[in-house]
């Protein structure tokens, strides 16, 4: 498996600094989500081109892109434009960045507990658009959306067709959605659909994100299982935590809490996967 890190989980305001730090940390791949001017790809072409040049100058490759489609209601008026313009643009720039992996969400959930048929239809439409643009759609399980847990996301994928969309497995998001055992129980049910993994952790007692080695997710066990199952994709550090634990001595006092936590998480992942 290969390690990557979100640039905006190193520095949220300065992608150039994030790229520089990632390169200095020995990272080979980064994931793209937010740039200085806004969410990928809804920024000016000039900003995307500048970002790409900085990546190339730093010797970094891109593991995937996260345009955020569709973390909104299924009836949101922006959905049609997202399908006709946003997703094709995301795919086009993903390919310019050298990747075909485009992550997505399955729309904000309601309290009915039943995944609407329209959600499945829309995801199928998104998958077809991605394929038509030379990319592949990867559905991320997300607590506030349909497909909150890995199991629920896998059920949606089964309806859309596993040959059309795969799973971005995020055990931390699953824990936030209420799963008491993202690994091994949930993973065993979804592992055949996993083509991408996001790494963060969650503390159910406080209801907050935590350092990767301190929350409910058994990441050492999860990494071992991924290796045993022959997983060759990316594991992407997605820290989500700005406040550094008191026990962690920051190596560089100039780091923000987010950057320090991401470096700690990166080193933890490396220790688990043997890189």
Answer whether residue 169 shows pLDDT above 50.
yes
pLDDT at position 244, please? 61
pLDDT at position 255, please? 63
In this prediction, residues 192-207 reach a mean pLDDT of 96
Residues 6+ apart with CB under 8 A from 17: 10, 11
Domain 2-273 top-level CATH class: alpha beta
Contact between 30 and 63 under an 8 Å Cβ cutoff? The reply is: yes
Indicate the pLDDT class of residue 254, thresholds 50, 70 and 90.
Answer: low
Domain spans, the chain: 2-273
In this prediction, residues 77-90 reach a mean pLDDT of 97
Interval 113-137: pLDDT, tens: 899 999 999 999 999 999 999 999 9
Q: Which of 5-9, 61-65, 227-231, 243-247 has the lowest mean pLDDT?
A: 243-247
Answer whether residue 197 shows pLDDT above 80.
yes
pLDDT at position 233, please? 98
Residue matched to tokens 């026990």 = 247
pLDDT at position 174, please? 98
Answer whether residue 181 shows pLDDT above 80.
yes
Residue matched to tokens 């075909």 = 100
Q: Is residue 131 exposed (0-12), middle (13-18) or buried (19+ Cβ within 10 Å)? A: middle
Here the tokens at position 38 are 């806004």
Interval 34-68: pLDDT, tens: 999 999 999 999 999 999 999 999 999 999 999 99
Phi–psi pair at 78, nearest 5 degrees: -80, -5
The distance in angstroms from the start CA to the end CA of the chain is 10
Indicate the pLDDT class of residue 251, thresholds 50, 70 and 90.
Answer: very low
The residue with greater pLDDT, 257 or 11, is 11
pLDDT at position 245, please? 57
pLDDT at position 242, please? 80
In this prediction, residues 213-228 reach a mean pLDDT of 97
pLDDT at position 256, please? 72
């Amino acid at each position: 498996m290969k390690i990557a890190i979100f640039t905006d989980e190193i520095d949220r305001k300065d992608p150039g600094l994030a790229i520089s730090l990632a390169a200095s940390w020995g990272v080979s791949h980064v994931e793209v989500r937010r740039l200085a001017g806004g969410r990928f790809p809804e920024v000016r072409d000039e900003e995307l081109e500048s970002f790409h040049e900085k990546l190339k100058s730093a010797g970094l490759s891109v593991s995937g892109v996260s345009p955020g489609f569709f973390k909104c209601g299924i009836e949101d008026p922006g959905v049609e434009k997202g399908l006709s313009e946003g997703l094709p643009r995301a795919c086009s720039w993903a390919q310019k960045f050298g990747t075909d992996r485009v992550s997505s969400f399955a729309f904000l959930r309601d309290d009915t507990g039943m995944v609407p048929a329209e959600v499945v239809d829309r995801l199928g439409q998104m998958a077809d658009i991605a394929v038509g643009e030379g990319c592949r759609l990867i559905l991320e399980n997300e607590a506030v959306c349909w497909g909150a847990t890995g199991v629920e996301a896998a059920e949606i994928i089964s309806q859309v067709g596993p040959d059309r969309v795969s799973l971005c497995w995020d055990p931390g998001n699953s824990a936030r959605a209420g799963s008491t055992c993202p690994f091994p129980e949930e993973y065993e049910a979804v592992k055949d659909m996993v083509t991408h993994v996001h790494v963060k952790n969650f503390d159910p007692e406080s209801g907050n994100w935590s350092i990767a080695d301190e929350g409910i997710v058994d990441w050492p066990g999860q990494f071992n299982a991924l290796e045993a199952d022959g997983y060759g994709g990316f594991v992407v550090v997605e820290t989500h935590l700005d406040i550094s634990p008191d026990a962690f001595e920051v190596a560089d006092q100039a780091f923000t809490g987010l950057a320090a936590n991401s470096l700690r998480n990166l080193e933890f992942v490396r220790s688990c996967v043997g890189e």
